[in-house]
Structure 1
Amino acid sequence: MKAYKFLILLIVAVFVSCSSVKVISYDELKPAQVSFPPQVRNIVVVNNMPPVPQARQGVVTIGDLDGDGKLSAESLASSLADTRYFRQVMICDSALYASDSSEVRYQLDMKTVNLLLQDLDADMLFSLDRVFIQTKRAELFYPDMPVAWPVLNVKMAPVLSLYVANKERPVQIITKTDSLQLDLNGLLNDNDIRQAVASAAASMLSRQLVPYWVSTERLYFDGGGVEMRDAGVYVRENDWKNALDIWQSLYDHSKSKKIKARTACNIALAYEMLGNLEDAQKWLDSAESSASEGSDEARVIQIYKVKLMERLKETPYLNMQMGRFGNKF
């Protein structure tokens, strides 16, 4: 999806190339799907997955497969610890199932949860209950290759339950489905699949649990005069204050609605990059009112409006989640 969005930006940039539209990339902090109270500082990740059979060398399962609980729990704990969002991330990767158990258990009982939380001095318990895996053989065809390249399409669905003390049921259950593709020639057995899935599932769950960084793109107008080109130099130097001053002066002195639409759009971007989303929205509204219907400026402004509205919608959640650090975004 990210590649698709970026392709749209590139197509628009080429389409309005006569207007000297440029693309910039920057890192943006996105909110998690789950918000935790500030008092949740210490967490423990536990392996609540049944044991898996020993992988046979040279055998790769095509069909349904269970993830490795120890690998998955360790990967999730490591991924969460790397974010430094919680004060302490602990792990209980010893399976809560007996090695010869045939029982099917998804939820932990309150006694077990309380005991683990007390023994590890944790505020919340993250129970990794399952990592479902489904594999399917496929082939990739490349123009310069005489034969097809064998790959394994892997669907994965981890299930994570969140517990606090003295509650009989999880306060929340998180599950998400995603996929990845593995080189079939590089796989020795099912352990290789489980290792790759453990890492991918941990990254996927981590984005549900804590704020995360993504690379995103924006369009801006760069040409049309000396002032616009000078401001573009400041943009490439990440000096948004000086770029803003030039665009503001050009907006104030220009009588052309086309120039006002371009500079107002750029001013909105500058305010966004400086962390002032309210002024960014005001200037984008001004840009929209100045742009002629169906014009290149209107197309660029509409693309930017979608992205800015999405960020404005997410900002309250992000501020709440980052409040434990005294940060606002």
Structure 2
Amino acid sequence: MKKILYISLFLAFLTSCTVVNTVSIDYLQPADVSFPPGVKVVGVVNNTPQGDYVSKLEELNSNGSPASNLIGAIEGNGKTATEELANSVYEGNYFDEVIICDSALRSKDYFTRDTKLSQSEVKELTESLGVDMILSLEKVNLYLKKSVIYYEDAPFPQGVIDATVRTMTRVYVPTKSEPIVTLSDTDSIYWVTGTWNVDKSIIEEGSSFAATLPVKHILPTWKSVTRYYYASGAVEMRDAAVYVRENNWDEARKLWEQVYGRKNEKMKMRAAYNIALCCEMKDNLQEAKEWLDKAAEIAEKKVTKNEKGEVETSTGDYKLIAYYLADLTTRLSNIQKLKLQMMRFSGDF
């Protein structure tokens, strides 16, 4: 499954007489973790410690040293994060149903510690919620520090609060005594505050942001990429570009194949590259790889390498082809995994 967006953007690329156009494509990439098709209903639970973060805010704001950039560390809001995680998983439309239990399982736990759910707890939760699997949010931590940002139209720098957010999410099924996978994520977010006072809204927003991080491990996600294609050098290349803008890839390919049949190696290489893109647009990834290999074989003739086989000098064509080849190879290697994950939809993707 893919989404295509054509962009009317023309780039002077490689040389002043070479025109390269762009097309944007969104394609589905597999999640890091695969679940059996029988896992249809998922429960999302809050297994984070429930400290009084409002009091902690007062402590952070009163104890911060003006001479230090460090503000401090604080637990996120587990209830807010759990709700956001459940909503993100639900919006992915991957599981039939998502059930949330945002009531704290560790309501008397005020300190960060590694507390896994026991198998008996998992069985009790799956039975009471009526789910096949448990996604348990177990840690949400925010590490805060001060910085500044400068705006051209502002007379003074603005205070910024930078946060490094870290989460831990575990996945449980009732037939296993241990989590089937533990997901740890780290990312950053910031707020332009004018001052460095940490208020409740920052913790709430940081917690919501943190909860989105595990989703890429759990659900297949869309990836947006920009592809390039040659649109000059021969009449057929320019005419084919018109067909591409009309989404008529079949007619464009006929013209590129005409160019490929000629003796000029540079145009032959560029035509092969464009045909590879045509094949990808038609979801023929293996054929796309074969055509791109043909383009790469010609491009490598203009490359010089050292004794170790490392590229020392190359052309713009070679770099463009190598970039595309690396991404296409990765996409091709993920196809079987994606098919496995999409079996619940009868492979319709």
TM-score, structure 1 normalization: 0.89
Number of residue equivalences:
318
1:84 to 93, 96, 105: 93
Distance 1:191 1:263 in 2: 57
204-213 vs 102-111, which deviates more?
102-111
Question: Higher helix proportion, which one?
Answer: 1
Summarize the alignment of residues 63-212 of structure 1 with structure 2, pairs less than 5 Å apart.
Answer: 63-99=72-108, 104=113, 106-185=115-194, 189-212=198-221
Which runs of 5 or more residues in structure 2 are unaligned?
1-8, 62-70, 303-313
Distance 1:103 1:153 in 2: 21
Tell me which residue corresponds to 1:264: 272
216-225 vs 240-249, which deviates more?
240-249
1:290 to 291, 298, 302: 298
Which runs of 5 or more residues in structure 1 are unaligned?
1-9
TM-score, structure 2 normalization: 0.84
How has the CA–CA distance of structure 1 residues 302 and 157 changed in structure 2, closer, same or farther, with 3 Å as cutoff? same
278-287 vs 225-234, which deviates more?
225-234
How has the CA–CA distance of structure 1 residues 14 and 140 changed in structure 2, closer, same or farther, with 3 Å as cutoff? farther
**How big is the shift at 1:74?**
0.3
Deviation by residue 1:23-76 (Cα, 9 ceiling, x = unmatched): 221212121111111111110000011213152699575210101111010000
1:219 to 217, 223, 228: 228
**How big is the shift at 1:304?**
1.2
Q: Secondary structure at the match of 1:22?
A: strand
Tell me which residue corresponds to 1:233: 242
Deviation by residue 1:211-253 (Cα, 9 ceiling, x = unmatched): 111211112101112211121122223332222222123222x
**How big is the shift at 1:185?**
3.5
286-295 vs 127-136, which deviates more?
286-295
Moved over 6 A (4+): none
How has the CA–CA distance of structure 1 residues 159 and 255 changed in structure 2, closer, same or farther, with 3 Å as cutoff? same
Tell me which residue corresponds to 1:30: 29
Distance 1:100 1:289 in 2: 62
Tell me which residue corresponds to 2:47: 48
User: Do the aligned partners of 1:268 and 1:281 also contact (CA within 8 Å) in 2?
Assistant: yes
Distance 1:204 1:159 in 2: 10
Tell me which residue corresponds to 1:314: 334
**How big is the shift at 1:110?**
1.6
Distance 2:332 2:289 in 1: 9
Instruction: Indicate the RMSD between aligned Cα atoms, in angstroms.
Output: 2.4
Question: Higher strand proportion, which one?
Answer: 2
User: Do the aligned partners of 2:160 and 2:195 also contact (CA within 8 Å) in 1?
Assistant: no
Letter in 2 for 1:317: K
Distance 2:327 2:137 in 1: 34
Distance 1:263 1:42 in 2: 48
Distance 2:294 2:86 in 1: 47
